Amino acid sequence: MTVVSADEYGFRAPFRALSDRIAECMLRDRHRLRTRLRHLEQRAAHHPPHPPAESEDLAAAVRRLAEEVDRSAAFRAERQANLPKPTFPDDLPVVQRRQEIARAIAENQVIVLSGETGSGKTTQLPKICLELGRGVSGMIGHTQPRRIAARSVAMRIAQELQTPLGHAVGYKVRFSDHTRPETYVKLMTDGILLAESQHDRFLEAYDTILIDEAHERSLNIDFLLGYLKQLLPKRPDLKLIITSATIDPQRFSKHFGDCPMIEVSGRTYPVEVRYRPLTAGTEDEEDLEMGEGILAAVDELWRHGPGDVLIFLSGEREIRETAEALRKHHPPGVEILPLYARLSAEEQMRVFHRHGKPRIVLATNVAETSLTVPGIKYVIDPGYARLSRYSARTKVQRLPVERVSQASADQRKGRCGRVSEGVCVRLYSEEDYQSRPKYTDPEILRTNLASVILQMKYLRLGTVQDFPFVEPPDYRSIRDGYATLHELGAIDERNELTPLGNQLARLPVDPRIARMILAAREEGCLDEVLVIASALSVQDPRERPMDKQAEADEAHRKFREPNSDFLAFLRLWDFYHGQAKHLSTSKLRKLCQANFLSFVRMREWHDIHNQLKEVMGEMGLYRAGGTPGEPPGQAEAPRPAARDESNARNERPQSPRRPGRRRRPRRSGHRSGPPSAQASGSVPSGALPTTSPAESPGR
Ligand SMILES: Nc1ncnc2c1ncn2[C@@H]1O[C@H](COP(=O)(O)OP(=O)(O)OP(=O)(O)O)[C@@H](O)[C@H]1O
Ligand SMILES: [Mg+2]
């Protein structure tokens, strides 16, 4: 465009023209360009007539601004011209309702779309958005609860749009960003979007946001739903689509001011369910039976016909052991693939690679939703998952292995009906299935409020009592949460996060246990406290059956420490690990039995200990051999791996605000600050107690 000097035609004309042109720029540039324009206009308005030098200077600045406006507008025009033209497979329910869905999106700022599995929500909605011309001024942001889903969905949509992955359709997960400026649809984990909200407070990289699988209700999703609710009035141009399985979609609609709700039917191929319950036994016996049940189920399925098998297990150790048992049991031609959250991207993606051999995939619940793995014809579901859960009684956050809900079991089953019919073997009875809770509790109801508050502070989401949660926690737990954080020194008297709190927020364990660990590092007893802290995160491995209490007490006497229950854990640890060095698994199991110890819980203890060491290592606070790294406060590391496979907390890539760093200044006008800035740090003094009776982290 031509730029006129501020003096030539009256100083306002070029500013008006530029202002109009900014409306054609990329969303992410508009605010910045408008602010610059306003400043220049003020300069021009305040002191006319200008001395020649000042006038020239101003004209040059206006010219530079105009060039930048032109660049952004040209880029947007190019995006408009290159907008992909999607085609739709006509057999998916979402496609059959395409016109209606498109109209609802066009006419409303928010819609909720619920539908059963396989209806086409994940793969078709972004294309419907493209068809509506969304994705031009900003990208279509599309969130998934897990990395593997983000990547594989991006792959599928790119394929359907016939573009190479990373161009029109890209994805971003922790440590790797496969998007480019030309990207229209960006898949990411919900943790990534939450992390982005830290530096893009208005989410201006996007003109449309799709929160997929909202029914999973991880803390990340609940945080996003609250954040977006605050953001929508400030971003009237932003469209939001919430998709959910048919699990109480009304709740989401109500959260967003009774927004329209569309329900679509599912489309899966028939899946036959076979119930093959394991004989009930003790926890340890069942562990044995489980392996046998799995082998029998694989045999049964392969007698039925060829096809790949997907088996759901509760953790990495179970995966390793099942893999070992399967290798012994089957001829070497079978390919056995593990799939869990901590595997690298490449390792995870191997399940999608073509292969000629019969394949068995051993997965945690990362494979439960959103995935379509074409060769999978069979699912074996033992019915368990490891879920993070806070016990109000013991006041500790733990990771028990629990029976999964009916909704989870159905999602698992659904993984084998995506591209052809399948068979799902459940290693429990139909009555057991019927007696299970319908849905998994939302993470916020399973989490210590102190930990929720800590994370909200870390993410600058404002105060928990002012935040628009889909299901707000009760006031008493909030008060207790604040009290705990004060007690731990995680927040100061103004309820602001302290540097210590910043570190606690990054440890994925109960804040009290995290505090013990950090203190131990200062006191030079990290190795010992890591053992004790991990013991406190599992159920007590010492067993005391009703009919053998005296015998059990006698067996446990050797671990006792007269002055400390905590030191008793160390004794027990040393005893077990001393033996584990030279005993086979079955001998170790027998040793545990003889000493009234649960073998399963001993191993859980060991696993959690390993994970804590790893996270401390990532934070630069622990080195193998127990030598601590640099003192706290100096290390800066990515977020630790979350241990609960069902939450993507580990996807939030970095500390959003380091202690001492200044916040971005508030914006003026109606967009007065980030969505939650008004709410932040404003707990009324006196409303919440700042101290509480010291509670020892007992069990
Ligand atoms: N990678 C793929 N390979 C082959 N077919 C696929 C692939 N991804 C999706 N499909 C097909 O498209 C259908 C719809 O998939 P989509 O993921 O969009 O459904 P959805 O409604 O999001 O389901 P869910 O509730 O399980 O997430 C699948 O059932 C499958 O038939
Ligand atoms: Mg989906």
Our CA angle for 673, 676, 677, nearest 5°, is 45
The answer to whether residue 283 scores a pLDDT higher than 70 is no
Average pLDDT, the chain: 84
The answer to whether residue 631 scores a pLDDT higher than 80 is no
Atom of ligand 1 nearest to the CA of 124: 18
pTM: 0.80
Give distance in angstroms: CA of 120 to centre of ligand 2.
Answer: 7
Residue 159: predicted pLDDT: 97
Q: What Rg do the C-alpha atoms of the chain give, in angstroms?
A: 28
- Could you tell me if residue 524 is left (phi over 0), alpha (psi between -120 and 50 degrees) or otherwise beta? left
Count of other CB atoms within 10 angstroms of residue 484 = 24
Ligand 1 pocket residues where CB is under 6 Å? 92, 115, 117-124, 156, 245, 369-370, 372, 374, 414, 418-419
Ligand having the closest approach to the CA of 245: 1
Residue 202: predicted pLDDT: 96
Specify the 3-state DSSP secondary structure of 596. coil
> Tens digit of pLDDT for each residue in 562-574?
888 899 999 999 9
Closest CA to 426 of 440, 411, 441: 411
Q: Strand ranges (DSSP E) for 163-246?
A: 169-173, 176-178, 185-189, 206-211, 239-244
d(CA 144, CA 221): 10
The answer to whether residue 469 scores a pLDDT higher than 50 is yes
The answer to whether residue 147 scores a pLDDT higher than 50 is yes
The answer to whether residue 627 scores a pLDDT higher than 50 is no
Q: How confident is the model at residue 423 (pLDDT cuts 50, 70, 90)?
A: very high
Place of tokens 């905590």: 566
Give distance in angstroms: CA of 684 to centre of ligand 1.
Answer: 48
Residue 640: predicted pLDDT: 31
Q: Name the residue of 244, 349, 354, 372 whose CB sits within 8 Å of the most ligand 1 atoms, as the mutation to test its pocket.
A: 372
Residue 279: predicted pLDDT: 67
Give distance in angstroms: CA of 62 to centre of ligand 2.
Answer: 48
307 touches 301 (CB < 8 A): yes
Contacts of residue 453, Cβ cutoff 8 Å, sequence gap at least 6:
464, 478, 481, 482, 485, 491
d(CA 231, CA 252): 16
Average pLDDT for 227-242: 97
Closest CA to 111 of 100, 127, 120: 100
The answer to whether residue 358 scores a pLDDT higher than 80 is yes
Which range (88-92, 325-329, 341-345, 599-603) has the least confidence?
Answer: 341-345
527 φ/ψ angles, rounded to the nearest 5 degrees: -60, -45
CA-nearest residue, atom 30 of ligand 1: 418
Place of tokens 């698994």: 585
Q: How confident is the model at residue 685 (pLDDT cuts 50, 70, 90)?
A: very low
Q: Which tokens is 285 given? A: 């016996």
If one compares 82 and 586, the residue with the highest pLDDT of the two is 82
443 touches 293 (CB < 8 A): no
CA-nearest residue, atom 10 of ligand 1: 372
Average pLDDT for 70-88: 97
423 φ/ψ angles, rounded to the nearest 5 degrees: -130, 135
| Percentage of the chain lying above the pLDDT 90 cut | 54
d(CA 120, CA 95): 7
Ligand having the closest approach to the CA of 151: 1
d(CA 531, CA 523): 15
Closest CA to 226 of 411, 427, 17, 473: 473
| CA distances in angstroms from 659 to 395, 413, 495, 636, 656, listed in the order given | 29, 46, 14, 11, 10
> Tens digit of pLDDT for each residue in 157-200?
999 999 999 999 999 987 789 999 999 999 999 999 999 998 99
Q: Which tokens is 195 given? A: 């992390």
Residue 284: predicted pLDDT: 58
Residue 546: predicted pLDDT: 83
d(CA 164, CA 143): 20
Span between the terminal Cα atoms of the chain, in Å: 71
CA-nearest residue, atom 25 of ligand 1: 117
* Pair type for strands 384-386 and 401-403: antiparallel
Closest CA to 280 of 269, 270, 289, 293: 289
652 touches 638 (CB < 8 A): no
Q: Which tokens is 128 given? A: 């419907």
Average pLDDT for 410-428: 91
Residue 693: predicted pLDDT: 24
Atom of ligand 1 nearest to the CA of 119: 21
Average pLDDT for 74-84: 97
Residue 266: predicted pLDDT: 77
The residue type at 588: L
- Could you tell me if residue 402 is left (phi over 0), alpha (psi between -120 and 50 degrees) or otherwise beta? beta
Atom of ligand 1 nearest to the CA of 94: 21
Q: Name the residue of 125, 308, 419, 421 whose CB sits within 8 Å of the most ligand 1 atoms, as the mutation to test its pocket.
A: 419
Residue 303: predicted pLDDT: 92
651 touches 447 (CB < 8 A): no
55 φ/ψ angles, rounded to the nearest 5 degrees: -65, -40
